[in-house]
């Protein structure tokens, strides 16, 4: 030791304090002024840059306040932008005792004079906190290196149990490679075989694998759509950067085999059988590198088509299709009533059966023939319904009184509000036996809404829950009549008296798993409930090994796991970790939630 000095953190005291709680720092001339800087972080997320003017003159030069309270940090430098200037990469780790959903934050930045230039700022889920009682240590590492020979240094981020490669794509950083079950505090890169392309060491437990990346590598394709086009074809559309794509197919996600290959970004499978579920996986290849999508399924069927339309009131019509329909309408603008040269948009729509919708408009129908355009609809299994125009006659001269369900809302899993077009008769509307469920369920109470005489509140306490639970209930109302003042009209049969109780959540905030613990002697599966439309779920054991994975995409808000691994074997008793990622329907991750579940044999 030739010299020792002391310097102080002048960044100010934040909520997390300003302690130097991480042993990692870098010493480098990052602003190319001939003097080194010392870069480190403190516990309230401040990035502190100290200028080394001399051994006895080390002063605070710059402070970047991230506002991210961290338990530790990792730092490295490299030329991420290929501009000859050092960029700084910092991995900030959450405080498990503070953060409800711990995550890591990665920031890549540099300075131009006193200006801060951020190239990348992103959050990554931190499931390592779930394993700290099992593992002695969850390791992390990051390193800059030009792994593909394009004169830009990529950032390699290994944060247990994941490994990422982040590349500058010209408009910021993007994750171009991803792997799992990695736990290391160092990153080894070397051209061991002397071919001019460096190998990266990926440690998987007791095994180390070496991978090469090149400039023409392929990234995992993104699925855009997959559906039955007609009775003899399944169509899969995807995006990717590969020159060739391999199609894997099977009857389950564990029986996928190489099936075909294409050079385009669309594939049509003509060797299919009606009413059969097929599993697929798309693998992209460029040169010697391959990357694939997650497995996904398509139920091959005859896509639904428009069949008929019938007037239900002076401003509503019921449209019926040849097959089961998705209960949500993604683009209501595709549904409108034509009045001369005007388009009257639909004001509300509600399922009136498995294969029908009731459409209501703010304006009354025209006397004579009316036309309602139906476009942008999708059937239950994801196949686009051909655009069509429903034409029907309406005669306002002597209307027949109609009494039907105008709308409904799932308030929570045990409460449903039902609004009729007319005020109902309390003597019939408040009888629980007039509300019949399929599959088996029951209403345990019915009350009239205090603020709306047309609305009743259905209670299911003590019965089975409904909503975003992965199962669909059909509720049929029989025997209910409108009030005496509205003509004591009997409720319509079938259309207007049948509703389908299903929903999806807007995000993962209220997602939950039940039952947990799941006792196999009493339960055949457990349910992930309150899910958004598109969710991918991965199950890990406490060793970090992936056990099973599956996806929700049918819009019923839930999915069941049969407590078996990817090979179809029952999992042993124990605690398991799930990782649920909400996607945008094209495979791009929007948000992530992790949690625990328990299986008992």
> Distance of CA 509 to CAs 96, 101, 506, 560, 581, Å?
18, 10, 9, 19, 12
User: Exposed, middle or buried by CB within 10 Å (0-12, 13-18, 19+), for 157?
Assistant: buried
Q: What phi and psi, each to the nearest 5 degrees, are found at residue 56?
A: -105, 15
Which of the listed ranges 148-152, 221-225, 272-276, 348-352 does the model predict with the highest average pLDDT? 272-276
- The closest alpha carbon to 304, from 389, 236, 225, 387, belongs to 387
202 and 268 within one domain: no
- The closest alpha carbon to 323, from 225, 230, 223, belongs to 230
> Distance of CA 267 to CAs 140, 210, 228, 231, 397, Å?
40, 32, 12, 16, 54
Per-residue confidence (pLDDT) for residue 37, from 0 to 100: 86
Could you tell me the pLDDT band of residue 184, with boundaries at 50, 70 and 90? confident
Low-confidence winner among 24-38, 111-125, 183-197, 240-254 (lowest mean pLDDT): 111-125
User: Which is it for the CA torsion 465, 468, 471, 475, positive or negative?
Assistant: positive
Structure tokens at 50: 């100290």
Report the phi/psi class of residue 555: left, alpha or beta, with left for phi > 0 and alpha for psi in -120 to 50.
Answer: left
pTM of the model: 0.49
Mean pLDDT (the chain, rounded): 82
197 and 82 within one domain: yes
CATH of residue 350's domain is 2.60.40.1220
Mean pLDDT on 29-34? 82
Whether 20 is covered by a domain: the verdict is no
Could you tell me the pLDDT band of residue 216, with boundaries at 50, 70 and 90? very low
Whether 376 is covered by a domain: the verdict is yes
pLDDT in tens, 217-268: 445 677 878 999 999 999 999 877 788 899 999 998 889 999 999 999 999 9
User: Do residues 21 and 8 make contact, with C-beta atoms less than 8 angstroms apart?
Assistant: no
Whether 438 is covered by a domain: the verdict is yes
* Residue where the block lists tokens 């796991």: 561
Per-residue confidence (pLDDT) for residue 132, from 0 to 100: 46
Higher pLDDT, 539 or 511: 539
Mean pLDDT on 44-65? 82
Half-sphere exposure in the Cβ direction for 294 (13 Å, CA)? 21
Q: Which residues contact 136 (CB under 8 A, 6 or more apart)?
A: none
Q: Which of 446, 469, 501 is the last residue of a domain?
A: 501
* Residue where the block lists tokens 């909400």: 582
Q: Which of 212, 236, 264 is the last residue of a domain?
A: 212
pLDDT in tens, 299-323: 999 999 999 998 888 888 989 999 9
CATH of residue 536's domain is 2.60.40.2550
Which of the listed ranges 36-45, 176-185, 383-392 does the model predict with the highest average pLDDT? 383-392
Per-residue confidence (pLDDT) for residue 97, from 0 to 100: 52
Whether 415 is covered by a domain: the verdict is yes
User: Do residues 600 and 517 make contact, with C-beta atoms less than 8 angstroms apart?
Assistant: yes
165 and 80 within one domain: yes
CA-atom Rg of the chain in angstroms: 30
Q: Which of 501, 534, 562 is the last residue of a domain?
A: 501
383 and 322 within one domain: yes
**Beta strands at 589-600 and 518-519: parallel, antiparallel or unpaired:** parallel
230 and 174 within one domain: no
Could you tell me the pLDDT band of residue 135, with boundaries at 50, 70 and 90? very low
Higher pLDDT, 289 or 81: 81
- The closest alpha carbon to 468, from 414, 408, 529, 418, belongs to 529
**Beta strands at 233-239 and 222-230: parallel, antiparallel or unpaired:** antiparallel
CA dihedral 135, 137, 142, 146 (to 10 degrees): -60
Q: Name the 3-class secondary structure at 190.
A: strand
Distance of CA 371 to the CA centre of its chain: 37
User: Do residues 107 and 73 make contact, with C-beta atoms less than 8 angstroms apart?
Assistant: no
Higher pLDDT, 411 or 116: 411
User: Do residues 536 and 549 make contact, with C-beta atoms less than 8 angstroms apart?
Assistant: yes
125 and 36 within one domain: yes
184 and 46 within one domain: yes
Per-residue confidence (pLDDT) for residue 94, from 0 to 100: 67
How many folded domains does the chain comprise?
A: 5
Model confidence at 531: pLDDT above 90 = no
Structure tokens at 198: 């460096």
Task: Give the strand order in the sheet containing 388-394.
Answer: 306-313, 316-321, 356-361, 342-353, 335-339, 368-374, 388-394
| DSSP E strand stretches across 115-180 | 115-125, 140-145, 154-159, 162-168, 173-180
Give the count of beta carbons closer than 10 Å to the beta carbon of residue 85.
15
Whether 469 is covered by a domain: the verdict is yes
538 and 477 within one domain: no
Rounded distance between C-alpha atoms, residue 158 and residue 137, angstroms: 14
Mean pLDDT on 75-81? 86
Whether 33 is covered by a domain: the verdict is yes
Q: Which residues contact 484 (CB under 8 A, 6 or more apart)?
A: 425
Q: Which residues contact 194 (CB under 8 A, 6 or more apart)?
A: none
Could you tell me the pLDDT band of residue 438, with boundaries at 50, 70 and 90? confident
Structure tokens at 355: 């294969």
Whether 315 is covered by a domain: the verdict is yes
275 and 208 within one domain: no
Could you tell me the residue range of the domain that residue 109 belongs to? 26-212
Give the count of beta carbons closer than 10 Å to the beta carbon of residue 40.
21
Whether 4 is covered by a domain: the verdict is no
345 and 291 within one domain: no
């Amino acid at each position: 030791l030739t010299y020792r000095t002391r310097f102080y953190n002048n960044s100010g005291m934040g909520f997390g304090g300003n302690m130097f709680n991480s042993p990692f720092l870098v010493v480098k001339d990052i602003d190319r002024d001939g003097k080194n800087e010392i870069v480190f972080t403190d516990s309230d997320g401040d990035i502190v840059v100290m200028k080394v003017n001399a051994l006895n003159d080390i002063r605070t030069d710059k402070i970047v306040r991230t506002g991210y309270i961290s338990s530790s940090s990792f730092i490295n430098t490299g030329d991420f932008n290929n501009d000859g200037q050092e960029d700084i990469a910092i991995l900030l780790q959450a405080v498990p005792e503070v953060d409800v959903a711990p995550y890591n934050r990665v920031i890549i930045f540099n300075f131009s004079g006193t200006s801060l230039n951020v190239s990348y700022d992103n959050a990554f889920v931190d499931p390592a906190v779930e394993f700290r009682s099992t593992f002695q240590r969850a390791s992390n590492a990051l390193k800059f290196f030009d792994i593909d020979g394009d004169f830009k240094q990529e950032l390699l981020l290994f944060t247990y149990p994941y490994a990422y490669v982040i590349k500058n794509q010209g408009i910021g950083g993007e994750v171009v490679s991803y792997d799992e079950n990695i736990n290391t505090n160092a990153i080894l890169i070397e051209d061991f075989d002397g071919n001019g392309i460096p190998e990266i060491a990926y440690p998987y437990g007791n095994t180390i694998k070496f991978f090469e990346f090149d400039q023409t590598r392929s990234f995992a394709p993104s699925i855009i759509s997959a559906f039955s086009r007609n009775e003899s074809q399944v169509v899969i559309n995807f995006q990717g950067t590969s020159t060739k794509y391999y199609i894997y197919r099977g009857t389950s996600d564990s029986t996928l085999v190489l099936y075909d290959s294409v050079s385009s970004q669309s594939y049509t499978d003509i060797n299919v059988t009606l009413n059969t579920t097929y599993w697929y996986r798309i693998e992209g290849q460029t040169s010697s590198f391959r990357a694939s999508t997650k497995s996904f399924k398509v139920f091959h069927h005859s896509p639904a088509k428009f069949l008929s339309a019938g007037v239900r009131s002076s401003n509503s019509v019921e449209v019926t299709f040849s097959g089961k329909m998705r209960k949500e309408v993604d683009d209501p603008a595709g549904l409108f009533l034509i009045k001369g040269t005007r388009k009257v948009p639909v004001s509300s729509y509600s399922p009136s059966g498995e294969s029908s919708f009731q459409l209501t408009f703010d304006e009354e129908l025209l006397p004579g023939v009316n036309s309602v355009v139906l476009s942008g609809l999708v059937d239950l299994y994801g196949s686009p319904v051909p655009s069509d125009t429903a034409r029907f006659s309406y005669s306002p001269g002597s209307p027949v009184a109609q009494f039907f369900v105008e709308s409904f809302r799932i308030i929570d899993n045990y409460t449903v509000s039902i609004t009729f077009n007319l005020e109902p008769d309390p003597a019939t509307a408040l009888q629980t036996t007039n509300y019949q469920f399929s599959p088996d369920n029951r209403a345990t109470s019915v009350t009239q809404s205090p603020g709306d005489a047309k609305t009743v509140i259905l209670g299911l306490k003590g019965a089975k829950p409904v909503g975003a639970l992965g199962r669909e209930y059909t509720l049929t109302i029989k025997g209910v009549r409108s009030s005496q003042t509205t003509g004591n009209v009997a409720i319509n049969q079938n259309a207007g008296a049948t509703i389908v109780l299903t929903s999806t959540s807007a995000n993962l905030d209220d997602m939950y798993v039940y039952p947990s613990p799941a006792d196999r002697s009493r339960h055949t599966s457990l349910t992930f409930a309150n899910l958004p439309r598109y969710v991918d779920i991965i199950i890990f054991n406490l060793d970090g090994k992936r056990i099973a994975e599956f996806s929700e995409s049918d819009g019923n808000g839930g999915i069941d796991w049969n407590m078996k691994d990817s090979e179809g074997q029952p999992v042993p008793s124990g605690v398991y970790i799930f990782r649920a990622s909400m996607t945008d329907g094209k495979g791009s991750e929007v948000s992530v939630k992790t949690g625990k579940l328990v299986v008992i044999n």
